[in-house]
Structure 1
Amino acid sequence: MSRRLLMLCMSLLSLGGLVNCSKSPKEGAQQTPAPTAKTEAAVKATALTITQEQQASWIRNFNPLLVPGTARWPTRAGIYEPLMIYNTVKGELVPWLAVKHEWSADNKKLTLTLRPGVKWSDGQPFTAKDVAFTFELLKKHKALDFPAVWAFLESVQAKDDATVEFTLSRPFVPGMLYVVHQPIVPEHKWKDVADPVMYKNETPVATGPFTEVKVFQNQVFELGRNPHYWQQGKPAVESLRFPAYPGNDQANLALLTGELDWAGSFVPDIERVFVNKDKDNNHYWFPLVGNTTTLYVNTTKKPFDDVRVRKAISMAIDREQIVKVAMYGYTRPSDATGLSDTHDKWRNPEAVAAGDWTRLDIAKANALLDEAGFKKGEDGVRVGPDKKPLRFDVNCVTGWSDWVRAAQIITQNLKQIGIDASLKTYDFSPYFERVQKGEYDMSMGWTSDEPTPYYVYRDLMSSETLRPTGELAARNWNRFSNKEADALLKAFEGTNDPEEQKKIAHQLQMIFVQNAPVIPLFPGPSWGEYSTRRFTNFPNKDNPYSKLTPNSPPENLFVLVEVKPK
């Protein structure tokens, strides 16, 4: 999830002038008690306290094969680990459980050499058989293969204990990232699991830095260090602590009072409300290397199957107002390619120029809807040929104050072109299920932040990532495909030539601009806040060894193994 971004907003009356977007706790849920002096002292001495998920109470699930956001963080990258990790800030692939990769001449065979001496947390050796077994699980249980690796894999074989060979059904160079980012599970623990899709894996055996469940209660859980971790002397932190915050009021109080050491949150006016409270210790870093925040439209539903309607909706949106009011100026309006700053070197100026539909133009938006056959009724709401009024919900996550405010602005904007849109908020889990199943009209969402535009456009335009409405889809939530894009994606998959890849990426951008399969709003900041009261060596603009945010697995592993007690 990647994902998935967990935003915080400030609602403490003493700070004044901030958006109140508190979320009511679930009925019957216990409230997180304020830490006593005794418990706070214990936290200071041993545990790095983090908020990355917001839940009224915790469900004990450490299954790393499930869609991100289902299992507790950091299951996929902290308890379990991938083979390699792409470092967005440095633009390089970092060896992890695998130390070497090699492609065959025809780009149809990928060979990985594994790191020697790695053990599972129960002391058993980690081998190539575990890697092959993990990928066979994805093949056997399609619900676990949300990156769709078996759309391009033909077989996975352990050639010996240290060598894994991936044979591809077609040349697929970008597929390497999906392969090396896959968390690996131990065969000796999972071979007898009857249903890996439903398995909660409450007592994990893994290779990551934090594998021991020291405490698991409905309001807090704590993970201890792996006694057999392969990185000598790491992690320096003894344990990770995760209080459950049912809403933003509780999470923000913890951030401002110093209980939290690390967060990945949207905080309005952060210099005033957070940094100025403790300039020596309170810090943040919001580089624009996150994914693009996007308005998804369900292209399986009318009228969103009409590109003119999608472009008209986009032209009615005042992105400048969203950036100023909802985002506190932390970002800027998106162009029509939908790419964030992560992909700046790939951007096609011609596609940017052709994408006039991300610029505010109410007159042109109205003209497009007129052309598409949607006429304004007496009440000002447009009606289609089927006589149905254009009345829709815009889905958002309760308490994500930046997104909620952005969605409010969008619903107001759309009224100017005769679309009666209403904001509909949900807790994260039901929101995410609706998006994945395609059971929505319009929805706030995000795109891929992976290394090249290929991944962005495969997610949004490929028939391979397309799933029927009602079936969970980890990608392509807009349910859109394009045959020309499919051909270009396959061409990109077959080449290692950077110049050829760039040429193809430019063509993909033009197809995206022509079809507007989703509506990009703004490049998302990579949210990250930290306190140095108890721990140090977090990444920042002066020490940019990785993203600071915990919201971009598996890159959060870099932080987990580098942070140190003060």
Structure 2
Amino acid sequence: MDFINWSAIVLKFLSRIRALRIVIGALLGLAMASGAAVAAEKGGVLNLIVQPEPISLNPGINRLGPATFVGYKIYDTLVAYDQKDLSPQPRLATSWNVSSDGLTYTFKLREGVTWHDGQPFTSKDVAFSFGEYLPAQHARSRDLRAEIDRIETPDDLTVVFVFKSPYPAFIRSLNVPIEPAHKYVGVTDFRNAPANAEFIGTGPFKFAEWKKGSLIRLVRNESYWDKGKPYLDEIVFQVIPDANSRAIAFETGNVDVLRAGDVESFDVARLAALDGVKIREDGWEYLQPVGYIHLNNRNPVLSNIKVRQAITQAIDRDFIINTIFAGFGKPINGPFSSQSIFKDTAVETVYPYDPQRAAQLLDEAGFKPDTNGIRFEVRLVPLPYGELWSRQAEYLREALGAVGIKVDIVSTDVAGWAKRLTTFDYDLAQNFVYTTADPAIGISYGYKTVTGDNAGTTGGNVNGYSNREVDALLDQAAHEPDQDKRKQLYSKVQQIISREVPLVWTHDIVFPTLHRAKVHDLIVSALGTDDNFASAWIEK
């Protein structure tokens, strides 16, 4: 069987890619070095792109990237996180205290905060959000709620979380929206409640209009708790159908900011070199995104570890990083982001790109090619986030086809993609996942055993992977208060999971952000552009 030498193809691109990266590095250095303090100016409209168009603007309903990008300007959180050390910073909570046994967290809330409809924000909203609303929507919140024994509200400005056992990840679990309890009185079906579409938050911006297929407009919350903020009059998120049009919108000044995926990766360096444009790669310290190719372990073929190893070795992940993502990424061989303090590369099993070995493994697994050279057929569901992911899907089809795996690309919209993954109605699927600052949040729910036909959640264990030893280690590590012991436990987790390859980790994603030099303080926390933009301002 003939194998396509993708590595040779990569070499043709590398010199150009390296040159682009040098340009970007220089521009990034200039952007970071030009931080002279200037007084913030009030007013102006910040024009952004959101793509694809979100399903909802309420991040309590939908936690996919487009929804959180828009939604966290409307809905505030208890705390923010510092870029340097991920320490929590006051937002709706002004202070917090943890008991010596690690079981009780007491938060003092900000006085005088109101919802966008004028109702007062109180501890009841926090208790409702963590105790009822969010667990009804998301696996991560359900897992967190299961750790909590009770939530107390001794007064309107105090909320107390009492845990069943120590759970050190809690302080890093607070980047979730606080929802208005008064809008859900008497409601039992939180997912389909009419209030979900009203977008009432406490954030610096209020929902103004949503012209489907065109734009989403937010306006300044004049009653925001942080006096003098926000500085911007409005934020407009434009919905633009294709990458080329989005690039033109930025070039012509109709758009002020580009996030990763808004334009083709190969266009980033060209746009970054325009006059009055800055580029930066920070702002992902909390989210720690990792690229995935999900493998449905419930498929009898993909449940075979040799098949999963073969798929991993048939894919040239350096090609994905250097060519498809234009160098914006780092190699990865396990579930933890390189930004994680728990990352342990020493214990990871590395499956290098080796299509010959992949073919051998498939032979050993009993999947010999037929007269047409086909061993078996799989369905690949691409991530519906634009041309970048379509290009990767096409590469995967060719790379796996070269070792005898026929790939049928089954394209769908965001809602269809999510439904397929969460009901295990797929074989392979693209994704990138926010692994977050603590493994008990972003790793446990992605690899712990789930049951049932519809037990997954977007970004969670939609692979159907199950290893009882991993389950036990994740549980133990989540409740271990000693940091060094946690690291040891998570090292064992990485050792097992990287060996068993329940999915393919394509790369540690590096997401660049381009913006006009006139836009200041766009990224001020570890949540980057997903943060609330209360501090962002435009120089006149």
Q: Which residue of 2 aligns with 1:350?
A: 346
Task: Classify 1:217/1:205 alpha carbon distance in 2 versus 1 (closer, same or farther; 3 Å).
Answer: same
* Residue 469, structure 1, aligned to residue 450, structure 2: no
Q: Which residue of 1 aligns with 2:394?
A: 408
Q: Report the alpha carbon displacement of residue 146 of structure 1 after superposing the two structures with TM.
A: 4.8
Q: Report the alpha carbon displacement of residue 144 of structure 1 after superposing the two structures with TM.
A: 5.0
Q: 1:273 aligns with which of 252, 270, 274?
A: 270
| 1:295–1:518 Cα contact (<8 Å) kept | yes
Q: Report the alpha carbon displacement of residue 117 of structure 1 after superposing the two structures with TM.
A: 2.8
Q: Which residue of 2 aligns with 1:38?
A: none
* Residue 363, structure 1, aligned to residue 360, structure 2: no
Q: 1:430 aligns with which of 392, 398, 416?
A: 416
* Aligned partner letter, 1:116: E
1:379-458 alignment, distance < 5 Å: 379-382=372-375, 390-398=376-384, 400-458=386-444
Alpha-carbon distance in structure 2 between the residues aligned to 1:199 and 1:491:
37
- Deviation track 1:212-266 (CA, whole Å, cap 9, x = no partner) reads 4156565223111112101111110011112222333432321222111123123
Alpha-carbon distance in structure 1 between the residues aligned to 2:462 and 2:441:
14
Alpha-carbon distance in structure 2 between the residues aligned to 1:271 and 1:132:
43
Task: Classify 1:240/1:196 alpha carbon distance in 2 versus 1 (closer, same or farther; 3 Å).
Answer: same
1:178-257 alignment, distance < 5 Å: 178=173, 180-193=174-187, 195-201=189-195, 202-213=197-208, 216=211, 219-257=214-252
Q: Report the alpha carbon displacement of residue 71 of structure 1 after superposing the two structures with TM.
A: 8.4
Alpha-carbon distance in structure 2 between the residues aligned to 1:319 and 1:459:
25
Q: How many residues are treated as equivalent by the alignment?
A: 492
1:103-118 alignment, distance < 5 Å: 103-118=98-113
**Which is further off, 233-242 or 452-461?**
452-461
Alpha-carbon distance in structure 2 between the residues aligned to 1:524 and 1:536:
24
Structure-1-length-normalised TM-score: 0.80
Structure-2-length-normalised TM-score: 0.83
Tell me, what secondary structure is at the counterpart of 1:397? coil
Alpha-carbon distance in structure 2 between the residues aligned to 1:314 and 1:485:
21
1:30-45 alignment, distance < 5 Å: none
- Deviation track 1:405-447 (CA, whole Å, cap 9, x = no partner) reads 2222222221232211233333333223322332211011123
Q: Which residue of 1 aligns with 2:338?
A: 341
- Deviation track 1:272-312 (CA, whole Å, cap 9, x = no partner) reads 53123x32x22222358541111100111121112221111
- Deviation track 1:173-194 (CA, whole Å, cap 9, x = no partner) reads 213433x222112222321446
| 1:82–1:183 Cα contact (<8 Å) kept | yes
1:295-314 alignment, distance < 5 Å: 295-314=293-312
Alpha-carbon distance in structure 2 between the residues aligned to 1:453 and 1:194:
31
Q: Which residue of 2 aligns with 1:562?
A: 536
1:284-323 alignment, distance < 5 Å: 284-287=279-282, 290-323=288-321
Q: Which residue of 1 aligns with 2:521?
A: 537
Alpha-carbon distance in structure 2 between the residues aligned to 1:361 and 1:215:
49
Tell me, what secondary structure is at the counterpart of 1:341? coil
Alpha-carbon distance in structure 1 between the residues aligned to 2:189 and 2:527:
35
Q: Gapped runs of 5+ residues in structure 2?
A: 1-16, 18-41
Q: Report the alpha carbon displacement of residue 329 of structure 1 after superposing the two structures with TM.
A: 1.6
| 2:435–2:443 Cα contact (<8 Å) kept | no
Q: Aligned Cα RMSD in Å?
A: 2.8
| 1:297–1:441 Cα contact (<8 Å) kept | yes
Q: Report the alpha carbon displacement of residue 524 of structure 1 after superposing the two structures with TM.
A: 0.6
Tell me, what secondary structure is at the counterpart of 2:380? strand
Q: 2:471 aligns with which of 467, 486, 505?
A: 486
Q: Report the alpha carbon displacement of residue 271 of structure 1 after superposing the two structures with TM.
A: 5.3
| 2:168–2:479 Cα contact (<8 Å) kept | yes
Q: Which residue of 2 aligns with 1:30?
A: none
* Aligned partner letter, 2:373: G
